[in-house]
Amino acid sequence: MAVFSGLNSNKGPTLVVRVKNQEEVIEGLTESVSKRRLRLENFEGFQSAGKLAAVKREEMLKEGKLISLHQEKVADLQDRVEANELSFEEYRDQYRQRERSLAKGELIDLSETKGEGFEACKILGISPLHLRVMRKAGPIGIPYQELPRSVQERFQFGAGEAAVYERRVAVVEAKRDEKIAAFRKKQKAMKAEDAVADLKRQINETTLGIRKQENLATKLDGDAKVWEMKAKALDRKANAARSAGRVTSNPGHARQARRKASDFKRQADDARAAARRMEANLIELDNLLLERK
């Protein structure tokens, strides 16, 4: 009885109460530990995710560098393709001009497409539109479409070149006709002596103009060759850099050099066309002078 009575003494909480209190404390601590463990797990998850993110970022950086490397290779290949295309166009133009120039005076058989009387034709000249030959019956210009396929391929005839040439001829003829009409109108309004003097002056000026345009064409041809040589030198440097695994801007500079060479060639062609236009005007002026005399 003494033992049990001690449980109900007034000296403090009973053992049962204290046990219950301790159970509540333990329950609270257990809940706190669970919450802390959950936070720890979340934190560890965040750490793991952070590490994974760092790994992914590193992989992305590597992939980005790889992509950049491939982009550089693609750009380099594009430069090579463009350079090769430009080189081919340049080669074809040079071949075409050389082959046509050397062919003058040569005997050629055109009977395959033109028939009898065209077995041995002497080549007089070649333009983008036709082949001019001398046959027994006399000179004749043959449109390139009527030539044998082997002849078309040899002299590199084509619709693209023909179209460009036709446009230039049309411009030249229009300007020539306009100028001749202005000359005739002016001549009618002048006295005979003054008209003759003016014609002679125009003839002298036109002759000088022809010489000037021909000299300009020669100079521009020289400039074009200089830039072509620069482009080839840059190509060699670019090839050396690629062989050494280095990235270089030389292919781009080579393209620019070829464009300059092409521009000079075009200007030279325009100068020659102007000279031919002036030559046509000179013929008309000479005819007018003969009419006056």
pLDDT of residue 148: 92
> Which residues are CB-neighbours of 235 under 8 A, at least 6 positions away?
83, 250, 251, 254
Predicted local confidence at residue 186, as pLDDT: 75
Crossing angle, helix 250-292 and helix 192-243, to 10 degrees?
170
pLDDT above 90 as % of the chain: 19
Read off the pTM.
Answer: 0.39
Tens of pLDDT, residue by residue over 42-87, are 766 666 666 666 766 777 777 777 776 666 666 556 655 555 555 6
- Edge-to-edge order in the sheet of strand 138-143: 107-108, 121-126, 130-135, 138-143
- pLDDT value for 219: 92
CA distance 226 to 220: 10
Q: What is the widest separation between alpha-carbon atoms in the chain?
A: 167
Phi, psi of 140 (to 5 degrees): -155, 145
Tens-place pLDDT, residues 178-194: 888 887 777 676 667 77
37, 44 contact by CB (below 8 A): no
pLDDT value, residue 41: 72
Q: How is residue 124 written in tokens?
A: 């007089």
The pLDDT mean for the chain works out to 80
Inter-axis angle of helices 159-188 and 192-243, nearest 10: 160
Nearest to 252 by CA among 236, 231, 271: 231
**Residue in this structure with the two tokens 């998850």, named with its chain if needed:** 45
**Which tokens in the block code for residue 130?**
């036709």
Q: How far apart are CA 110 and CA 142, in angstroms?
A: 10
Q: pLDDT (tens digit, 0 to 9) for every residue of the chain, 293 residues total?
A: 344 444 444 555 676 677 777 777 777 777 777 777 777 677 666 666 666 667 667 777 777 777 766 666 665 566 555 555 556 667 777 788 888 888 889 999 999 999 988 999 999 989 899 899 999 888 999 999 999 999 999 998 988 888 888 888 888 888 888 888 887 777 676 667 777 788 888 899 999 999 999 999 999 999 999 999 998 888 888 888 888 887 777 778 888 888 888 888 889 888 888 888 888 888 888 888 887 76
Q: Domain locations in the chain?
A: 14-97, 104-157, 158-293
pLDDT of residue 79: 57
- pLDDT score for 88: 60
Cα 226 from Cα 264, distance rounded (Å): 10
